[in-house]
Structure 1
Amino acid sequence: MAEGLHTVIAVSGTTVRLADTDGAVTDIGLIELSAAEDFEVVRASSRTPVPPTTPLEGLPEAVAAEALWWEQHIVEVLRGVPPQAPAGTRPKPEYDPAVVSLTRREQAKAAELTAAGWPVTASAITKRRRRYEARGVVGMADHRSTKPVSAHGRVDPLVVEAMRKAVAEAAQGSTRTATYLFWRTGQILEADHGRGAVELPSQRSLYRLLEKLSAGKHTTGSARTRRSLADRPDGPFGERTAVAPGELMQMDSTPLDVLVRLDDGVATRVDMTGMIDVATRSVTAAVLRPTTKSVDASVLLARTVTPEPMRPGWAQALAMSRSALPFRRLLDIDARLEHAAARPVIVPETIVVDQGKVFISRNFRASCNFLGINFQPVHDASGWEKGHIERMLGSVGTLFAQFVAGYTGFNAERRGRHVEQQPLWSLLELQELLDEWIVVWQSRPHDGLRDPLHPGRMFSPNEKYAALVETAGYVPVALSADDYIELLPATWRAINAYGVKIKHRTYDDQALNPLRQQRSGVKDRKDLWEIHYDPYDVSRVWVRDHWKGGWITLFWKQLHRVAAPFGELAWDHTRRTLPGGSEEQLADAVADLLRRAHQGPADSGDAGSRPRLSRRDRRVAARTKSSPPSTPITPEARPPADHVADGEADQADDAPEENVAQVIPMPIFDPFTEADKRW
């Protein structure tokens, strides 16, 4: 065999067929070839990459047809027969790979096309053959250079960097137009490199550059979405898997997009605080309040571990006994479920909350510690870390709120006209509707609850809970009245001779006699006494007896002056209006405010007979009266029928039912009658 370069054109058993540059073919044994001293592999053939499945989409029809035409000829050069040739087709003698070298086949194809009227050289066939091996059929149509191009085209890199800074500045700012970003880019270039040192490209180029740099950032779109995307981490998202009910729960609060009619007729929005179980997607509780406070989060915890009772008017299909939950088995463990609705009772192990002051407050942390719950706040501005509750709150808007009368939309742009004039629900009625909707949610298939082996089937939260409770088990947590008191916010005060004073209100009871002016013995709190109170019901407080244990209920001394309980909101508002008033005057003012708010605004006919309330007064009074006490009233916590303030028993017994003065009519003066009396 002559020395030189040879190409392997065929292999049959242990025999290799080689062809030299002149086309001479030689057969040699594989062992003899590998044992030769001058044997060397000059270039190993690489595997042709798999061409794209749709290589010619988007190309003009004529260009695609030409590419397919060239593919027929190049494949014949490479394999001897054109593509899609019938089985058993023999190659032409000049294209037989077993006999003719690749170079000779390329020369034969060039001669064939030239004779047919398509003049082409053998070197051109070689180039097309290499493009086909590298890129497939698209290499026959796309003649552009494969040299990589900059992601930003021909724009000056300094301009690119300046616009990138402008886009970054806009992440946390208000939404502005592209024109402002172009102006800001020029300002950054002038500050960094001097006036006129870098010239901005044309406006069309700036728009194209801005489109590339702001892709996926909402730079000129929604500010809320832009901030959320900017706070998102750069790396891949991680997710903690929850495999048991209560293992991981999330809590959040948001304004509900529904107007409610408060007691005085004021239409306003309320806050909704909800909790969801990640493993089962169960909404364990949701409460509506005019303004969310830390006590609401604590009450939400109590409702989560308490069964939801069936309400009058609810369909029997919403009962737990009619649901997918294992009612009979759970009833043997927890008797409270006998008349419960189809909402599972879940004891949280870990609760994820945001950095809101309601959730990171000392009161809520104490409630979590009391129930043995791990408290896990997310990082600042990281709502994605509790995405399940965020999505659930959005579902409340689309699946519940928009069907309720008084729906406002989630921003002013989506709000209709005169929404406040619609027949609106009261706060308590809307809470009732929300509780019923949550039970319906529990039976609704959830897209996030799919069987990995049967992904086409969705499970409802109740079905998922029934499946997981078989492996995780169920432990009932029954909260007593004392447990509810433990969940309320606490303060520390001294017990004086007149009782306990909190925010200028005095609380007292005969049970407090042994503790008056005594030290509690809690040195860390300067010997003060622990007192729990309900911000939505200031009629009573609870003092912890550090000596004997338990709670002592104290009632407000001025409770007899106000027929209905009211909260901190009304009291603080009245204190601002009467900064120098005494405790009795403040109580009378609050009672008068609530009485006038209950009567409604004055009509035009008797405007002079009754003073009009300010808008602030109406809102405070209505929100206060719409917030019911969030703790159960036990028999021992109710004020006795004959309970009155100390030193006022006699006055209370003799006091009339209504404080109305006796009206004495004044006689009409008659001068003639008076003249007769003289005689």
Structure 2
Amino acid sequence: MTMLAEELGRQRLESIGTRSRILKRVSWRAADAGLALPSRSTLYRALADLALRSSDFGSTVTRKTEANRPDRSFRRLTVTRPGEVVEMDSTVLDVMVRMPDGSIRRPELTYAVDVATWSILGTLVMPKTSRGTDLGATVLGLSLLRPQDRPGWKNVTASLEDIFGTTGEWRDQLEAAAVALPRIVPESITVDRGKNFTSVAFAAACRAMEISQVFANPRTPTDKPHVESGFRSIRLGFVQFLAGYTGGSLNKRGVNLESSAVWTLAELRALLEFWVLSEWQNTPQSGLRMSSAPQQLLTPNQMFAALGGSEPVAQTGGLEFEQYLGLLPIVWRTVQPYGVNVHGFTYDSERVHPYRGQRSGLSGEANGRWEIRVDVTCPDRVWFRDHRSCEWLELSRVTPLAARPVLGVAETAVPAVPTRAFDLVRAIHEVQSTRIAAKPQCVNDKSEPFESSVVPLRLLPREEPLETDQAEHRAAQASARRLRVLE
């Protein structure tokens, strides 16, 4: 039994095998040790008693997940107030979208969730990069601002207008949901050791906001179970309804996903923001219950009110927005006569004129350049900081931008608005169905029956007729070759 248990434990981290492989290994070990083995049927019964979990000979993903469980009883984290414990993490979304550079890839989602109320405090969808870009600090800043106060809120509404039209019930629903979003200030944030959360900017942001930073144990997702399970809820409740959905795993992935990817990165950000505010925050969750009514499921917004949540004390003098700017990623630039160049775009303002052609006097990484803060959710503005007067100057983009890129079709259809409440998921389905139907499909997809196009025939140049002697000579050679083959 000991050898069987050891071999079964080894297999939980290996490629899946059969029960006969385990019995073979046990027989080899027993032979080397000089031990006699019982009958084969007895070994199979003993192995069945040990392999009580279906994952022992099932999916590799399930086996690795169960092997990673802590060897103890599960203990539920008890929280008593909003913001006491906040969890933050990043993952790659299971959907193909069009990136700003024109490529079609899967983006990365970073978000924060409050454990007490299950409220999603802030989300950020970005192209996946090989290095950290201070996304954790940016999401933290978004979590501390009301949706209407975020610099990128105008871009969200503009993208939604492009998708659903300028009029309709969606606008009223979005504004009401944004006002109802709980404003929660984290006391502690639990993160893993990814590059987004081990950066200097994220640590400095937590210290500036007096937030405790708690690191999960390596390769232990159970240390932050709420944010991990939230990824699955986002995938099932929102992502799987989008065109270009990859299925969550290779054995569930469809074909020709690149051609069905009709959403841009900016549109995905806006749709996810809409879904979080209107759907997630107002959907009853099985884990949100009160002792006075244990059978009643509460929404994140209701749980916030039930725990006595209230608006945080507002700070004065615009300091809150200045703190948000301090959490944004920083770039160093010179001020040219035409303005400031950031990521290929030009930003300018009349107030920045005294700094044109001047050096900042900062050394090190700055090397005489000026501090510029960039908000990835608001690409039409950047913020210039004068370190001597601690003054922030807003620079607007002057480089013209084309309208929404036409993805091969003329996208003018607007879905019909339901008579009752605005159904976001249904509206998304109708819009993307129209875009996919109008988009030219690939005819070389190997998964579909191949229909070859008609190729026009081309007449070959006519040969001159052979002389009689030449024709008889060639016929004799052909007959000789056939006889040699038969022999």
**Alpha carbons 1:533, 1:540 under 8 Å: kept:** no
The Cα shift of 1:375 comes to 1.1
User: Is residue 295 of structure 1 aligned with residue 134 of structure 2?
Assistant: yes
- Corresponding residue number in structure 1 for 2:237: 399
Are 1:213 and 2:50 matched, yes or no? yes
State the partner residue of 1:278.
Answer: 115
Q: Is 1:516 the equivalent of 2:371?
A: no
What is the CA deviation profile of residues 25-54 of structure 1, one whole-angstrom value per residue up to 9, with x for unaligned ones?
A: xxxxxxxxxxxxxxxxxxxxxxxxxxxxxx
Whether the 8 Å contact between 2:174 and 2:274 is mirrored in structure 1 is no
The one-letter code matched in structure 2 to 1:198 is: L
Matched, 1:460 2:315: no
Per the TM alignment, residue 413 of structure 1 is displaced from its structure 2 partner at its CA by 0.7
- Between the aligned partners of 2:296 and 2:355, the Cα distance in structure 1 is 62
The Cα shift of 1:173 comes to: 3.5
Bigger mean CA offset, 175-184 vs 253-262: 175-184
What is the distance in 2 between the residues matched to 1:600 and 1:463?
41
C-alpha distance in 2, partners of 1:357/1:186?
A: 47
Query: CA contact under 8 A between 1:217 and 1:230: conserved in structure 2?
Result: no
1:411 aligned onto 2:249: yes
Alignment partner for residue 325 of structure 2, among 485, 488, 508? 485
Paired amino acid for 2:327: L
Query: Residues of 1 paired with 2:373 and 2:24: CA distance?
Result: 57
Cα deviation code 1:616-655 (max 9, x no counterpart): xxxxxxxxxxxxxxxxxxxxxxxxxxxxxxxxxxxxxxxx
Matched position secondary structure for 2:108:
strand
Q: 1:448 aligns with which of 266, 272, 287?
A: 287
2:170 alignment partner in structure 1: 315
| Residue in 2 that maps onto 1:78 | none
The equivalent residue for 1:167 is 8
Unaligned runs of 5+ in 2: 162-167, 409-487
Q: CA deviation at 1:424?
A: 2.5
Q: Please say if residues 247 and 348 of structure 1, whose CA atoms lie closer than 8 Å, have aligned partners that are also in contact.
A: yes
> Judging changes above 3 Å, is the alpha-carbon distance between structure 1 residues 175 and 371 closer, same or farther for their aligned structure 2 residues?
farther
Q: Does 1:358 align with 2:207?
A: no
Identity of aligned residues (%): 32
AA at the equivalent of 1:486: G
Deviation (angstroms), 1:347: 1.5
Cα distance in 1 for partners of 2:171, 2:380 equals 38
Q: Say if 1:291 and 1:210 are closer, same or farther in 2 by CA, change over 3 A.
A: same
**Pair 416,528 (structure 1): closer, same or farther in 2 beyond 3 Å:** same
**Do 1:265 and 1:600's aligned partners in 2 also have CA atoms closer than 8 Å?**
no
Matching residue of 1:428: 266
- The alpha-carbon deviation at position 550 of structure 1 amounts to 3.4
Q: 1:199 to 1:357 in 2, by over 3 A?
A: farther
TM-score of the superposed pair, with normalisation by structure 2: 0.64
Residues 17-96 of structure 1: matches in 2 within 5 Å? none
Q: Distance in 1 between matches of 2:288 and 2:380?
A: 46
Q: Call closer, same or farther: CA 1:432–1:204 in 2, change over 3 Å.
A: farther
C-alpha contact 1:512 1:552 (8 A) present in aligned 2: no
Deviations 1:174-214 (A, max 9, x none): 43333443344445x26xxx636234444443433333333
In 2: Cα distance, 1:425 partner to 1:494 partner: 35
**1:390 aligned residue (212, 223, 228):** 228
Query: Quick one: distance in 1 between partners of 2:301 and 2:406?
Result: 46
Task: Give the Å deviation of 1:446.
Answer: 1.2
2:476: which partner in 1? Answer: none
**Superposition deviation, residue 231 in structure 1:** 2.5
* Paired residue type of 2:226: H
Q: What is the CA-CA distance between 1:279 and the residue it aligns to?
A: 1.0
Q: In 2 relative to 1, CA 519–459 (structure 1 residues): closer, same or farther, beyond 3 Å?
A: closer
Q: Secondary structure of the residue that 2:194 maps to in structure 1? A: coil
Higher relative contact order (CA 8 A, sep 6+): 2
Q: Report which of the two structures shows the higher radius of gyration computed on alpha carbons.
A: 1
The residue aligned with 1:251 is: 88
CA distance in 2, matches of 1:526, 1:427: 31
Q: 1:514 to 1:489 in 2, by over 3 A?
A: same
Within 1, Cα distance between the matches of 2:271 and 2:361? 49
Instruction: Tell me, yes or no, if the aligned pair for 2:331 and 2:374 is still in contact at 8 Å.
Output: no
> For residue 182 of structure 1, what is the aligned residue in structure 2?
23
Residue 395 of structure 1: how far off its partner (Å)? 1.0
Specify the alignment match of 2:463 in structure 1: none
Q: Is 1:230 aligned to residue 70 of structure 2?
A: no
Cα 1:203/1:355, change in 2 over 3 Å: farther
Equivalent residue in structure 1 for 2:212, among 353, 371, 374 = 374
Deviation per residue, 1:45-81 (Å, 9 max, x gap): xxxxxxxxxxxxxxxxxxxxxxxxxxxxxxxxxxxxx
- Specify the code of the residue in structure 2 equivalent to 1:233: P
| TM-superposed deviation, 1:349 | 1.4
SS at match of 2:271: helix
Give the aligned partner of residue 37 of structure 1.
none
CA separation of 1:316 and 1:491: change in aligned 2, threshold 3 A? closer
TM-score (norm 1): 0.48
Is 1:195 aligned with 2:50?
A: no
Look up the equivalent residue of 1:268 and give its one-letter code: R
The one-letter code matched in structure 2 to 1:488 is L
Greater Cα shift, 369-378 or 485-494: 485-494
* Cα 1:434/1:380, change in 2 over 3 Å: same
Instruction: Find the residue that maps to 2:246 and give its secondary structure.
Output: coil
In the TM superposition, what whole-angstrom CA distance separates every residue of 1:439-459 from its partner, at most 9, and x where no partner exists? 221111111111223221111
Distance in 1, Cα, partners of 2:249 & 2:13? 19
Q: In structure 2, do the counterparts of structure 1 residues 186 and 282 end up closer, same or farther at CA, with 3 Å as the change threshold?
A: same
Secondary structure of 1:465's counterpart equals helix
User: Which secondary structure state, in structure 1, belongs to the residue aligned with residue 137 of structure 2?
Assistant: helix
Report the AA paired with residue 294 of structure 2. Answer: P
Please tell me the residue identity of whatever aligns with 2:285: H
Task: Provide, for residues 370-410 of structure 1, a one-character-per-residue CA deviation record: whole Å limited to 9, x for no partner.
Answer: 22221111111111111111121111112222222222211
Deviations 1:431-487 (A, max 9, x none): 2221121122111111111122322111111111122235x6533467765434311
Which residue of 1 is the match for residue 390 of structure 2?
549
Secondary structure of the residue that 2:307 maps to in structure 1?
helix
Secondary structure of the 2:47 match is helix
Q: Does 1:437 align with 2:275?
A: yes
